[in-house]
């Protein structure tokens, strides 16, 4: 599909407002000189394909992981589920969904961020050192080219940073509480100039999904539920060893 789309756009000189087009444009720069076109390659096709596929896969898989753990939390903590459902209904009932309306759902945002704190889709991120650095208070030197593994899960479950880390507390992410904590100590979306390019889109889509689900369904633990969650030790993304199982009840279904 990527090859067909790239070929058509290059042949017909058409453009689209999407991620693939940005990659194509970065792959070629046309400079007109003396009626001749000089092309300089910046990105090869393998890189364009890899980045496009990664953009798609990363967006789907990480968002579904967030929603899966969020539903598990709702099933395990009925008080939070009831509070969140009331919060959503009070703000959205009878109103057309919009970006501005979603922005008012501060408790929902705190709930999703707390889910990401306890269950970050990526338990660690890797970065390559670009200049010599000595870790403060030690003699450990990091050389350019060294790969540094940053333990996202370890940082976000550190009791010195998040007191009672095993307790699910959405209020950790109120605007007031976030200001008291350095932003780089929450790494579910990374930090700095290479943080997640899809952060806003991910949060909007997750909020929309949670609004739709909580208005219609009630979640509870079932016989196959495992709580606390036991993690799978192999794999890149954080996953439950035996899956996440909950009982789902349609609360809008009319009873006879």
- Mark the binding-site residues for heme, compressed into ranges: 196
Q: How many CB atoms lie within 10 A of CB 116?
A: 25
CB 55 within 8 A of CB 62: no
Binding-site positions read: 196
Instruction: Determine whether 35 is exposed, middle or buried from the number of CB atoms within 10 Å of its CB (0-12, 13-18, 19+).
Output: exposed
- Chain centroid, CA 219 distance in Å: 22
CB 203 within 8 A of CB 112: yes
Pairing label, strands 217-220, 147-150: unpaired
Pairing label, strands 125-128, 147-150: antiparallel
Q: Which residue is it, tokens 């208070």? A: 137
CA distances from 193 to 156, 168, 196, 197, 247 (A): 20, 29, 9, 9, 41
Bridge partners of 231? 240
SS (H, E, C) 209-242: HHHHHHHHEEEECCCCCCCCCCECCCCCECCECC
CA angle 22, 25, 26 (to 5 degrees): 85
């Amino acid at each position: 599909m990527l090859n067909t789309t790239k070929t058509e756009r290059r042949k017909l000189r058409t453009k689209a407002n999407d991620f693939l087009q940005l990659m194509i444009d970065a792959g070629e720069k046309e400079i007109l000189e003396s009626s001749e076109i000089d092309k300089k390659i910046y990105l090869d096709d393998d890189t364009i394909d890899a980045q496009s596929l990664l953009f798609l896969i990363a967006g789907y898989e990480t968002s579904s992981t967030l929603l899966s753990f969020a539903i598990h939390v709702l099933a395990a903590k009925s008080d939070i589920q009831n509070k969140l459902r009331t919060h959503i209904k009070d703000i959205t009932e009878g109103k057309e969904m919009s970006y501005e309306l979603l922005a008012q759902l501060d408790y929902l945002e705190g709930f999703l961020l707390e889910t990401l704190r306890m269950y970050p889709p990526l338990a660690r991120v890797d970065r390559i050192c670009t200049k010599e650095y000595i870790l403060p208070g030690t003699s450990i030197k990091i050389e350019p080219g060294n790969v540094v593994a940053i333990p996202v899960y370890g940082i976000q479950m550190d009791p010195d940073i998040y007191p009672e880390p095993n307790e699910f507390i959405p209020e950790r992410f109120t605007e007031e509480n976030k200001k008291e904590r350095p932003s780089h100590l929450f790494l579910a979306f990374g930090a700095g100039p290479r943080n997640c390019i899809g952060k806003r889109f991910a949060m909007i889509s997750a909020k929309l999904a949670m609004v739709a689900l909580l208005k219609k369904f009630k979640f509870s633990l079932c016989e196959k539920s495992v709580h606390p969650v036991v993690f799978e030790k192999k794999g890149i993304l954080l996953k439950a060893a035996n899956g996440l199982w909950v009982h789902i009840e349609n609360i809008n279904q009319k009873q006879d």
